[in-house]
Amino acid sequence: MKLLQWISAQRPSDEWFNTWLATLTADDVLLLRQDGVYAMLLPWPELPCRCYALQLDVEARAINTGAPWQTISDQQWVGLTAQAKQVWLCPTL
């Protein structure tokens, strides 16, 4: 399982974004955190992975979550990090 942590409110170039999306599988996790939780407001294609947002960051920015996004606690984030074979940090490029 890969854990991809998205920390930017913006998406990168389409070329980079599409390449990145092609690496996702059903076993992977996409986690929005920090300003990345604003990305829930952007249009996303259907994603093959589990989609989470860090609850404290969502609450701090007063954003409503909706499908496919689910909020998780800091403790759950640590658990996902411990389980992951790879952890990626994805800022805007």
Please tell me the distance from the alpha carbon of residue 4 to that of residue 29, in angstroms, as a whole number: 6
Tell me if residue 76 falls in helix, strand or coil.
helix
How many domains does the structure of the chain reveal? 1
Residue 19 structural domain = 2-90
With a cut of 70, say whether residue 77 has pLDDT above it: yes
pLDDT in tens, 16-48: 778 888 889 999 999 999 999 998 888 888 889
Q: What is the pTM of this model?
A: 0.89
Q: Give the pair of three-digit tokens for residue 30.
A: 């996409």
Q: Name all contacts of 64-68 with Cβ < 8 Å and 24+ positions apart.
A: 65/40, 66/40, 68/44
Residue 72's domain is classified under what CATH number?
Answer: 3.40.1260.10
